[in-house]
């Protein structure tokens, strides 16, 4: 019944659940905008049908995401009032801009896009969906600006025991923001792309509307490959930034207790003994940590013991080492998921380029269906590493988590709301899954007709032809 532990658990549950929907919305709307652009440029009705079909999934996801997101801001006042009082003048500004500008922009143009089919001109209607896409991306920018302040506080001064913003441009020019934002948004593009490619693969496996879903798959898999590669590149840049600004997080993500040595090897596997501050067993890849940290095959990385001593000198007595196992393994889960995404993207793009999607690729289509989960795994594990690796800080170097919780809220109250919110979220998740499945089963045909077998290369005659 520890209020701090329960408050952290509640924030983790609600934030992770909400973050299932955010990147999917950002990614889906960009691909829908691309499809509608192709409709306007090429004039082919099939691209219009594609935009409408995938638009249904986007709207369902967006609606549930809005509901789950409302609770996030309320939690700062409910469970983290001391944090809100301390940092509200800084943290609140980007969140206010996000709500008043970006979210308002999204909502307005979503309405015009939904009801504007055949009422607005093609180009004006296309502009609406691109403005929705811009709004979702700008919304992410402002939220990440707030989060980046927690990772690396800038543009503020302490006045009467509270952090007050004195330089707005320093806040939005935060170096943490400019490595975190592209990494997160490109990951969101990959999330939407794998959703489209995975559902399209399922439909191709079922031999339904194959012409429609081959085009959808091609667009989805190309964006998935580009976004996955770019996400990895910006992730590399973010890791290098961590070495300078949050070296303890970097050391924990590598399970590095003592100095790494020069050149520094990257730890593929480690059996971590946090109680004794060491690893009982390790499998290392030579030179790789130096390259990850400095883009060259030389360079030493500080370990947690050395950093602990430095932090004690800077911030006073205390335990500044985060939960090492969680940070270490969440980082590796993210990397593994990202590598699988790149491999599947490469092979899928090869099939599309060589026009081999008509051939039976049952194993690959099944793998693509399951690959829908990969970006969600990567997104979630990446955020766990980012937030857990910052502990014990809420705002790095300024405020610790134990000092951020609401003093008047009891463990029992938090436990009750945790159970209630979790049940509500479970219901919302089930409803969304049901609606997704219903839309996907119905397919792109407005009348709900079944598969377009006239263009199905997997029918009996077509199957023997390709064989």
Residue 192 binned pLDDT confidence (cut-offs 50, 70, 90): very high
What pLDDT score was predicted for residue 450? 40
What pLDDT score was predicted for residue 467? 27
pLDDT over 90 (residue 177): yes
pLDDT over 60 (residue 456): no
Token pair 């090897």 is at which residue? Answer: 265
Region 350-357: mean pLDDT is 88
Region 415-421: mean pLDDT is 90
Region 310-316: mean pLDDT is 93
Structure confidence by residue, pLDDT tens digits, 14-49: 889 888 999 999 999 999 999 999 999 998 999 999
What pLDDT score was predicted for residue 451? 42
pLDDT over 90 (residue 53): yes
Q: Which of 223-227, 249-253, 459-463 has the lowest mean pLDDT?
A: 459-463
The pTM assigned to this predicted structure is 0.90
Residue 446 binned pLDDT confidence (cut-offs 50, 70, 90): low
- Is pLDDT larger for residue 448 or for residue 270? 270
pLDDT over 90 (residue 310): yes
Percent of the chain residues past pLDDT 70, beyond the cut = 95
Region 138-154: mean pLDDT is 92
């Amino acid at each position: 019944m520890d209020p701090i532990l329960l408050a952290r658990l509640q924030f983790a549950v609600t934030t992770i659940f909400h973050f299932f929907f955010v990147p999917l919305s950002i990614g889906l709307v960009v691909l829908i905008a691309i499809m509608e652009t192709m409709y306007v440029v090429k004039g082919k009705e099939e691209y219009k049908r594609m935009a409408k079909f995938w638009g249904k999934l986007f709207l369902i996801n967006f609606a549930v995401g809005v509901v789950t997101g409302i609770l996030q801001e309320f939690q700062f006042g409910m469970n983290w009032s001391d944090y809100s009082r301390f940092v509200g003048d800084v943290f609140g500004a980007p969140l206010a801009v996000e709500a008043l500008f970006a979210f308002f922009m999204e909502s307005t143009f979503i309405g015009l896009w939904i009801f504007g089919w055949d009422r607005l001109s093609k180009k004006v209607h296309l502009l609406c969906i691109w403005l929705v896409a811009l709004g979702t991306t700008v919304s992410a920018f402002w939220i990440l600006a707030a989060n980046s302040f927690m990772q690396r506080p800038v543009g503020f001064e302490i006045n009467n025991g509270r952090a007050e913003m004195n330089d707005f441009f320093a806040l939005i020019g935060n170096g943490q923001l400019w490595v975190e934002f592209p990494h997160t948004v490109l990951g969101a593009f990959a999330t939407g792309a794998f959703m489209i490619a995975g559902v399209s693969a399922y439909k191709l496996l079922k031999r339904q509307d194959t012409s429609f879903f081959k085009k959808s798959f091609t667009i989805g898999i190309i964006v998935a490959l580009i976004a996955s590669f770019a996400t990895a590149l910006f992730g590399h840049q973010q890791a290098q930034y961590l070495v300078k600004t949050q070296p303890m997080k970097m050391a924990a993500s590598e399970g590095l207790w003592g100095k790494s040595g020069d050149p520094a090897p990257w730890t593929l596997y480690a059996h971590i003994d946090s109680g004794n501050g060491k690893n009982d067993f390790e499998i290392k890849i030579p030179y790789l940590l130096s390259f990850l940290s400095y883009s060259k095959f030389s360079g030493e990385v500080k370990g947690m013991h050395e950093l602990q001593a430095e932090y004690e000198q800077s911030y006073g007595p205390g335990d500044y080492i985060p939960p090492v196992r969680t940070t270490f393994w969440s980082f590796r889960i993210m990397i593994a998921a990202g590598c699988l995404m790149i491999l599947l993207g490469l092979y899928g793009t090869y099939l599309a380029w060589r026009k081999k999607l008509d051939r039976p690729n049952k194993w690959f289509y099944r793998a693509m269906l399951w690959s829908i989960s990969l970006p969600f795994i990567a997104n979630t594990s990446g955020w766990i590493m980012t937030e857990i690796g910052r502990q014990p800080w809420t705002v790095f170097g300024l405020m610790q988590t134990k000092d951020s919780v609401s003093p008047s809220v009891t463990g029992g109250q938090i436990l009750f709301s945790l159970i209630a919110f979790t049940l509500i979220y479970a219901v919302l998740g089930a409803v969304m899954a049901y609606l997704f499945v219903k839309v996907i089963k119905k397919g792109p045909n407005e009348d709900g007709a079944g598969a377009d077998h006239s263009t199905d290369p997997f029918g009996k005659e077509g199957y023997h032809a390709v064989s």
